[in-house]
Amino acid sequence: MEPFRFHMFVCMQQKPEGVTSCPANGSMAVFAALDREIQARGLSSDVQITTCGCMGLCDEGPVMVVYPEGVWYRHVQLSDVPEIVTQHLLAGKPVDRLIWNDSAAMKAMSLEHGEKFRAAMAAREKAGVLPDRLEQMIRGFMPSRCLLTALELNIFTAVGQGANADQIGTRVHANARAVGMLLNALVSLGLLSKIGDDYRNAPESARFFVQGSKDNHRNGLLHTANIWHRWSTLTDAVRSGTRIHIDGDSNPEWTPNFIAGMQRNAKDRALLVVKALGTEGVRRILDLGGGSGAYSIAFAKASPDVKCEILDLAEVVPLTAEYVRDAGVSAQVSLRAGDMLHDDFGSGYNIVMLNAICHMFSEEQNLEVFRRARQALAFNGRLVVQDFILNPDKAGPQQAALFSLNMLVGTDAGAAYSEADYTSWMTAAGFAEVRRIKLPGPSDLIVGRAE
């Protein structure tokens, strides 16, 4: 008995540029359209759609197979999708004009492809060619830098509803020839399209990178552009063991971009944190290094009984004030300018939060902050840390291990830490019932209770 009435496999095998493949012929768009159409027709519980690797029929792609019949389709185009869904999946009649049923030819082509592939791999291996995976890792900065430069120059907003390189160059106050080169690279990355001399935003670019779009992420992403400069110092930072000070850090846009970047991540995660901790019995929260205030805002919205105090650096507090005001929770969220490493925390809190804070500090600084948080908590109050948590051997997950280097190039003594690190500091600071709460996404909570 099959769990689904139909199971479709669509080839999505990525190959190096210039090599024929199903994705190069549009299989990704076909897959996305099939998925949308299947949902729209209410077929998701009858049809399973799965991506698959190369079937050795690349010249005939995009290729897909539909089971239980074992029907092979080739040269499937976006425009074929409604017909496949209506005729095959709904009416049970495969689309004849797309079927490929010359089994002998298919088998011969697939076997020949397999042989050629193995021979090519053996030749590369013998010649000592750098594997694609390493090649891509080494050149990975190029697409990243292209997109960051486009964001810094606000290229996608300048493209607007469509424009040529001269017009865009004038709008972003940059050299037309160079802008043209950048625009062409952005087209090659799928972030723009080009018709004649005119460039247009791809749907994702229009949605996420254009000023005025509801889902515009540009301001938050400019923080990543700032971080780029710091990452360029990684070699020297590794040599010296701490960050190298660079000019970019005094950029006046640094702090607003940084806080916008924090808010971009925090606003959705804050709802997860409120759900994980609950608001029962919670009256006063101290949000250390609250940044955009996203976590305090979420708690204030979750319960009218909760009052939050955000302690952050003097240059950040005016920015925090704007986010709090815009959220309409100023009556519940108060702000304090100060330095959490030295200033008094106050007392009687039910929760002290450290969201994305501990990675900025050394082990000794974190232990000291935890001790002082312990003093600031009421009986049964909770210290809540949210951060990237390293595996016990500290060699993963990848995002946390890379983030640790982000702290090497960006702070005096910060790093990502493991669950064992957090547990030992909380225990040494006098917390009981220390536990990790897993959240969806890259960071988790570590919570300890003051008894």
Ligand X SMILES: C[S@@+](CC[C@H](N)C(=O)[O-])C[C@H]1O[C@@H](n2cnc3c(N)ncnc32)[C@H](O)[C@@H]1O
- Can you give the binding site for ligand X, defined by CB under 6 A? 262, 266, 289-292, 294, 311-313, 316, 339-341, 355-357, 360
For residue 44, how many C-alpha atoms fall within 13 Å in the half-sphere facing its CB?
Answer: 6
The nearest distance, CB 76 to ligand X, in angstroms, is 45
Q: How far is the CB of 112 from ligand FES (least distance, A)?
A: 12
Stretch near ligand FES under the rule CB under 6 A, chosen from 51-59, 192-200, 314-322, 328-336: 51-59
| 351: partner contacted, choices ligand FES, ligand X, none (Cβ within 5-8 A by kind) | none
- Helices 141-153 and 176-188: angle between axes, nearest 10 degrees: 130
72 binds ligand FES (CB under 6 A): no
Find which of ligand X, ligand FES, none residue 266 binds, CB within 5 to 8 Å per kind. Answer: ligand X
SS3 of the chain: helix, strand, coil, percent, to 5: 50, 20, 30
Least distance CB 413 / ligand X (angstroms): 12
* Residues in contact with ligand FES, shown as a per-residue x/- string from 2 to 41 under the rule CB under 6 A: ---------x-x-------xx-------------------
- Site membership for ligand FES, residue 221 (CB under 6 A): no
The letter for the amino acid at 61 is: G
For ligand FES, the closer of residues 14 and 411 by Cβ is: 14
The residues with which 286 forms a beta bridge, in sequence order, are 309, 352
* Beta strand pairing call for 307-312 and 377-390: unpaired
252-283 in b/e form (b: 16+ CB < 10 A) is eeebbbbbbbbbbbbbebbebbbeebebeebe
DSSP 130: P
User: Binding residue for ligand FES (CB under 6 A) from 30, 33, 47, 58?
Assistant: 58
Alpha helices of 245-312 — where are they, by DSSP H?
254-277, 294-302
Give the SS3 label for residue 161.
Answer: coil
346 HSE (CA, 13 A, CB side): 16
Span near ligand FES by CB under 6 A; candidates 58-66, 161-169, 178-186, 269-277: 58-66
Check binding of 157 to ligand FES (CB under 6 A). Answer: no
Task: Report the residue from 30, 49, 57, 270 that binds ligand FES according to the rule CB under 6 A.
Answer: 57
Q: Contact region for ligand FES (CB under 6 A) — 52-60, 123-131, 200-208, 298-306?
A: 52-60
| The two three-digit tokens of residue 121, written as one number | 């791999």
Binding residues (CB under 6 A) for ligand FES: these are: 11, 13, 21-22, 54-58, 61, 63
